Amino acid sequence: MNELNIGTDIVEINRFRCKSLKSNKTFYNSIFTKSELRYCLKYSDPYPHLAGIFAAKESIMKCSNHLLRMQEIEIIRGNNRKPMALIRYKKKTINAKISISHTEYLAIAVAIMPLD
């Protein structure tokens, strides 16, 4: 059996709700890719989705063997609409399996990726 790394993170959604998208563009652009922001802005309340993606990126960072920047991790939706992570690090692209969930107040994510 291949060895796997697992990471998890939980975020209070109000941490994002308190930072309006309009007046904190630099902050959001430093964390999220354009496609991630586009995805979140499709919803009338984008903040649970932003918190979920942030938690997913943090969970990836916790299970990676490399120091990653937020912009090196992109959360996308596959054909089945399930989220997955693409990690672009040193000219390589690594896929990771993730799960994201949220309540009214909290977002949580779990990531699983192979050891490299």
Q: pTM here?
A: 0.93
Q: Answer yes or no: are the C-beta atoms of 109 and 52 closer than 8 Å.
A: yes
Q: pLDDT value at position 23?
A: 93
Summarised one tens digit per residue, pLDDT across range 16-60 is: 999 999 999 999 999 999 999 999 999 999 999 999 999 999 999
Percent composition of the chain: helix, strand, coil (DSSP 3-state, to 5) = 35, 35, 30
Is pLDDT of 72 > 80?
Answer: yes
Tell me the average pLDDT across 84-112.
93
Q: Answer yes or no: are the C-beta atoms of 84 and 75 closer than 8 Å.
A: yes
Residue 66 confidence class, pLDDT cut points 50, 70, 90: confident
Q: pLDDT value at position 1?
A: 53
Domain range list for the chain = 4-114
Of 55, 58, 69, residue with least CA distance to 105: 55
Q: Is domain 4-114 given the CATH code 3.40.50.1970 in the classification?
A: no
